[in-house]
Structure formats: structure tokens, C-alpha cells
Amino acid sequence: MGDDPHMLFDAWYAEARQSEPNDSNAMALATTGAEGQPSVRMVLLKDHDPRGFVFYTNLHSRKARELIDTPKAALLFHWKSLRRQIRIDGPVEEVSQDEADAYFASRGRDSQLGAWASDQSQPLPSRAVFEEGFEAIRERFEGQDVPRPPHWSGFRVLPCRIEFWLDRPHRLHERRVFTREADGWSEGLLYP
């Protein structure tokens, strides 16, 4: 299986991109609010390398506010078609402005406009209000590039623990865990 968790992640992720029918880059993101209440939602992995795992969001969203207040997170990839999971825990940092700008520029135009139009996680009186706001933003940027909103960026989860879970018959699963140490990674197995 190899002893570098990032290489193992790359191999499993490549298989998932071939076998998962939808959103092989979908991952559950768990954060913690100020009161200690956990919160989880699905987000999309947009980049990964040995530094960490990156996703993007509105900085006014609940997830962003929680990550700014408590910069720790847990991720979970579940690829049902492969009967595999990967769990990742670690501290969180905001991506650089250049990274956020580059990713935002790669998004489809309607997604760019939506980042301006959505007051993510805030109460919405009706869908019509959002749609009217979206049309106003579309008119505002008609005929020009859409810049990244100042309230939109990304976060990188810096892994300190990565667990690879493989389904086995009769719930005799295989669990391999990597823990970051000063000079690299230590690895071990966990009971199912």
C-alpha cells in the first residue's frame, strides 16, 4: 500500500474518479461552533498536495465563521462504489489570495456570479429574492470579467491524522492510520 499517506490518497482518489458516478471529490466537512456544537456538511475538494486538502466558500458562511473561530476540522471521503473511506483531521488555514484568485477565475461564470449574489447561510425570505439578486449581479458584471468577492476564499486542512478504511466481509474491515510526526508520518493499524 505504500507508506506515504498522500501517495495512497492519490491512488484511492484516482480510482474513485473512475468509479464514483457523481462528485468523487465530495467530502464531509466537520467544524465546531463557539458553543462546542459540531456541524457537518458536504463540500467539494478543489485541490490537494502534501500541504493539505483545499475547499472554497463564502467567508460569511457558517462553516467559514466556525473555522475562523476554531481553526480545526475533520474531513471524510466515502466512496460507496469502492467500499472505502478516508478520514482526515487537522488544523485549518486560509489559502493565499493568489490561490483564491486563481481558483475563482477557473469557475464557470454563473458560479462566479452566484458567489456575489449569495449571502450564504443567512435567512432567505424567498427563492425569488435570491433570483432577483442574481439577475442584478449578472447585469452589474455584463461584458466584463467577474472579480473574486472579498468575502470569498478557501481553506486548507493541514492533515495531522489520515485514516484509510477498507470494507471487508462480516465487518472485519481494514483500517490503516497515519499520524504526523516532526520528521514525517508514523503508521499503524486499528481494530475494525
Residue 88 contacts residue 162 (beta carbons within 8 Å): yes
> Treating both helix axes as pointing N-terminal to C-terminal, what angle do 127-140 and 109-117 enclose, rounded to 10 degrees?
120
Evaluate whether 58 touches 118 at the Cβ level (below 8 Å). Answer: yes
Q: Based on the residue annotation, tell me whether 171 is a catalytic residue of this protein.
A: yes
DSSP characters for 27-46?
Answer: EEEEEE-TTS-EEEEEEE--
User: Which whole-number Å values give the CA distances from 31 to 60, 105, 124, in the listed order?
Assistant: 15, 27, 23
Q: Which of 41, 148, 171, 180 is catalytic?
A: 171
Contacts of 54 (CB under 8 A, 6+ apart): 45, 46, 47, 48, 95, 99, 154, 155, 156, 157
Q: If you search the block for the grid coordinates 520528521, which residue do you land on?
A: 183
Active site residues: 171
